[in-house]
Amino acid sequence: MRNIWTIARREYKQYFNTPMAYMVAFLYLLVMGVIFYFNLINAAYQQMAPQVQVVVGPMVTIMLFVTPALTMRLLAAEQSEGTIELLLTAPLRDWELVLGKWLGGLLFMLSLLAVTLIYPLILNQLVDPGIDYGVLVANYLGLVLMAASLIAVGVAASSLFKNQTAAFFATLGIMLLLWLIGISSQAAGSLGSKILLYLDFRGHFFDTLYRGVIDLSDVVYYLSLTSLALFLGSVSIEIRRWR
């Protein structure tokens, strides 16, 4: 546990040392701000009270593109700069390294998400009788779960490459695949469609949590995806030693 925390803390601090993370944060918050503004105007024209979803909906899409940028560095840079040799010869298990990297990335993402909480709070001031806090909690729980699994996928992809750009696109590719799996489920047969539907990354959020329903099966889905990705990441580091 201690090793995981040591690594996570360094990764978290490192984000504030690199321009990349600032750019990502800037973009994320700026784009969010603009979308939020237009959504408010739109809602005002249509004379309806906007709900939390006007914030969270676009945030999910942006997260999809922001996460690879945050995770691509985590293990790829260690490999290209050779510093992985320091970590793999330290008294540290491979899974502790992978978990630490994941936790560091997740903590940074959670910081970003925490800042975005300002939009629901503004919304709460604007609409009467205020926003539904239950829906807010369910939405943000969904965001955290999605962030956890997307970052785990990112760490696993980053462990495969020395090149950060390759890690970026590999992560994005896997994410888009998970994202689009639900669409293909409509074309498939009944059993296959059920399986694909269960694998659908979007559905587990937009069908339930997004609407304010907390369903255990969705939580299990995201946590399983996270565990699987972290496990594969550890295996990939282990295999790396044998190469």
Positions touching other proteins (CB under 8 A) are 2-3, 6-7, 10, 13-14, 17-18, 81-83, 85-93, 241-243
Cβ contacts of residue 39 below 8 Å, gap of 6+? 50, 54, 55, 58
Query: Which residues fall within 8 angstroms of residue 100, CB to CB, at 6 or more apart?
Result: 3, 4, 5, 6, 7, 8, 11
> What minimum distance in Å lies between the beta carbon of 24 and other proteins?
16
CB of 16: closest distance to other proteins in angstroms? 11
Q: How far is the CB of 241 from other proteins (least distance, A)?
A: 5
Q: Would you tell me how many other CB atoms lie within 10 Å of the CB of residue 20?
A: 14
Cβ distance to other proteins smaller for residue 36 or 108: 108
Write down the least CB distance from residue 87 to other proteins, Å: 8
Q: Of the two residues 87 and 178, which places its CB atom closer to other proteins in the complex?
A: 87
Residue closer to other proteins, measured from CB, 42 or 83: 83
Q: Contact 197/203 with Cβ under 8 angstroms?
A: yes
Listed in order, strand segments (DSSP E) in 156-213 are none
Angstrom distance (rounded) from CA 11 to CA 16: 9
Q: Which is nearer to other proteins, 45 or 242 (CB)?
A: 242
Cα–Cα distance, 98 to 228 (Å, whole number): 12
Taking the least distance from each CB to other proteins, the nearer of 21 and 155 is 21
Crossing angle of helices 53-80 and 94-116, in 10° steps, is 150
Question: Closest separation between CB of residue 5 and other proteins, Å?
Answer: 9
Angstrom distance (rounded) from CA 210 to CA 214: 9
Nearest distance from C-beta of residue 105 to other proteins, angstroms: 17
Q: Which is nearer to other proteins, 9 or 202 (CB)?
A: 9
Closest by CA to 69, choosing from 164, 174, 201, is 164
